[in-house]
Chains A and B, each alone.
Chain A
Amino acid sequence: MSDAQIECRDLWKIYGKRSDEAMKAVLSEGLTKDEVRDRYGCVLGVRNASFSVKKGEIFCIMGLSGSGKSTLVRHVNRLIEPTAGEIHVAGKRVDTMGEDALRQLRAETIGMVFQHMALWPHRTLGENVGFGLEVRGVPLEERRKSAETALGAMELSGWIDHYPDQLSGGMQQRVGLARALAADPEILLMDEPFSALDPLIRRQLQDQFLSLSEHMHKTTLFITHDLDEAIRMGDHIAIMNDGEIVQIGTPEEIVTNPVDDYVADFVKGISRVGLVRAETIMEPLDGREGTPKQVRADAELGEIIDKFMEDQSPVTVTNPENAPVGLITIKAALTALRG
């Protein structure tokens, strides 16, 4: 686990005055969310969550509203105090950290983007973006330079002396991103950053963020309630329900192998064309000959379907050395498409 940039172990959050009592009772008796509420008047926010995010990857946390995903992500920079469990960020233990160290971590190592932008309306874009540096006492000129660079990266140079209410929603969220990136943090926390935007702008920002992310390699924790978005953005996805992480996996694993009905329900409407790969649906050759129609093992379902457009004979799957390793029948391809 040495390459994990963010790691949470057995994280619990119980809200309420009697949270400590409730925590003990939950551990010894395994109470459900409703039982905790009825007996202790406490609300179970996060239940026994463990996950780790590798350096440079985008890790999506997906769930409906109220599933505890926003609560969970706020433990990473301890905007919310955990009731129990360990949090490690960039090699430091966050849950036992002192106040000063925590503020330094927030200012230098973690950038955060909020659902409703949360730009301060009384500050110019430059002052918004430079805030993290300002609270650390960085002199004005340096702050302005960083703000200019960060705004430039989001294609907003020239707006530095304007105010947030002079910008459109999409531009505002780009400022939110610039603010998170201004201090060049290793980690980004993004709490439904694109949910409040209209679909076209959302798509643009997703693409912009992905291409940015490709050359910046920031470890990103990305919250969304939209599985399509999670699949587009995420290297790994964690699905949450009622404060619990029910499944963690790559987008393909989640879609092809949902762990329970809850996840299956989400996955139902998702297009598999770009997700399912040849190697997951191929049958072993078992001594059969390869056919002239060939695809590579990591080919997506869409490419395989293209092959079946020509005729309906099976497609051969080859490994990187071009040796045949399996066959896909049209039946297998259609089954995979249907899900």
Chain B
Amino acid sequence: MDLWNIFDKEWIPVGVWVETALQWVVANFRFIFQAIKVPFDLVLTALEDGLTEAPDLLVLALIVLIAWQAGGRKLGIISAICMTAIGLMGAWEESMTTLSIVLTCVVFCSLIGIPLGVLAAKRNRFWMVLQPILDLMQTIPSFVYLVPIVMLFSIGNVSGVIVTFIYALPPVVRLTNLGIRQVRPDMVEAARAFGASNRQTLYKVELPLALPTIMAGVNQTIMMALSMVVVSSMISVTGLGQMVLRGIGRLDMGLATVGGLGIVFLAIVIDRVSQSFGQSSRARNHQKWYETGPVGAVRTLVRK
């Protein structure tokens, strides 16, 4: 053997190991991963059925009302324009599928990410372990884990949600951690000085004060989930991503553009609405949410 070119030979067969390990996991533990799928499947199916089977205009009205409530009249109008444009381009059905995948992903990212972030803020050692894992989740090219995900979870929309979940989870964990750590220490100390337990301090003081930062994390998670839409369509996830992928595959520029524009319009709406949720009531002049928007309008009407 030529000593000068020792790297011609593969000394550490990482690829083979991973392959073997994966085969072993698939052979013995696939049922676990199928069980993990169940909650994702339930939420996704419910959302997708609701959004696609309800009359289009009803859904449109609902989205506009939510946007108006969350971000005022201006956001309501922007949302109406964007969603109508999607509908007129003929991408309504697909965009509803994509929307339900993104929303499912957000539900699970929040359910898992916020508690992880809180724990990370409380325990430095846990945060030190968690940090490289989050880095890995964010930086490893998603193509790398598409294959094992398909082998463990099979193809389809639910697997798409899981792929997206892996990619989109880190920001909400990071920003929850940051938000809790940034709460002024004397605010926490005051809560303790008046006899609050750790749990009460968390729910009554730390979480509310960290909420704008946490919501920024949720917003980032949503944006990352949207950016996974095209990639996840490679494991036959339907929706706007699939339009783009099919367009590329058939060199059908029109189809790809419609899909791409659909993603952009959807992104604008979801981004603005989720950002408005993160505004603290201080930034809104201390008005309660039910005092503004359509709900506020209805309330004033009823009172008259």
A positions within 8 Å CB-CB of B = 77, 79, 103-108, 110-112, 114-116, 118, 120-122, 131-132, 134-136, 162-163, 165-166, 179, 183, 189
Contact = CB atoms under 8 A, between A and B. Distances in A.
A79 B200 contact: no
Contact of A79 (B193, B204, B209, B280): B193
Interface in B188-203: 189-197, 200
A136 B192 CA distance: 12
B282 A79 contact: no
A135 B204 CA distance: 9
Nearest to B286: A163
Given A106-B192, A112-B190, A116-B186, A122 B197 contact: no
B205 A120 contact: yes
Interface centre among B192, B197, B208 (most CB of A within 10 A): B192
A118 B281 CA distance: 18
A121 B209 contact: yes
B278 to A, nearest CB: 13
B196 to A, nearest CB: 5
Contact of B196 (A111, A131, A189): A131
A112 B194 contact: yes
A65 to B, nearest CB: 15
Interface in B164-220: 184, 186-187, 189-197, 200, 204-205, 208-209
28 contacts: A77-B193, A79-B192, A79-B193, A103-B195, A103-B196, A103-B197, A105-B195, A106-B195, A108-B195, A114-B186, A115-B186, A118-B184, A118-B189, A120-B208, A120-B209, A122-B209, A122-B280, A132-B194, A132-B195, A135-B191, A135-B194, A135-B196, A135-B204, A136-B195, A163-B282, A163-B286, A165-B282, A179-B194
In order of increasing CB-CB distance, the 10 nearest A-B pairs are: A107-B195, A132-B194, A118-B190, A106-B195, A118-B186, A112-B193, A103-B195, A135-B196, A122-B208, A135-B200
Contacts of A112: 190, 193-194
Contact of B193 (A104, A106, A122): A106
Interface of B: 184, 186-187, 189-197, 200, 204-205, 208-209, 280-282, 286
A135 B184 CA distance: 20
A120 B191 CA distance: 9
B183 to A, nearest CB: 10
Contacts of A135: 191, 194-197, 200, 204
A87 B8 CA distance: 72
Given A103-B197, A132-B194, A134-B204, 13 more contacts: A77-B193, A104-B195, A112-B194, A114-B190, A116-B186, A118-B186, A122-B280, A131-B191, A135-B194, A135-B197, A135-B204, A163-B282, A165-B282
B194 A107 contact: yes
Contacts of A120: 187, 190-191, 205, 208-209
A192 B189 CA distance: 15
A110 B282 CA distance: 30
A116 B280 CA distance: 21
Nearest to B189: A79
Nearest to A133: B194
B281 A122 contact: yes
B226 to A, nearest CB: 30
A110 B193 CA distance: 8
A163 B187 CA distance: 15
A136 B286 CA distance: 27
Contacts of A121: 209, 282
A116 to B, nearest CB: 6
B194 A118 contact: no
A205 B17 CA distance: 73
A131 B204 contact: yes
Contacts of B186: 114-116, 118
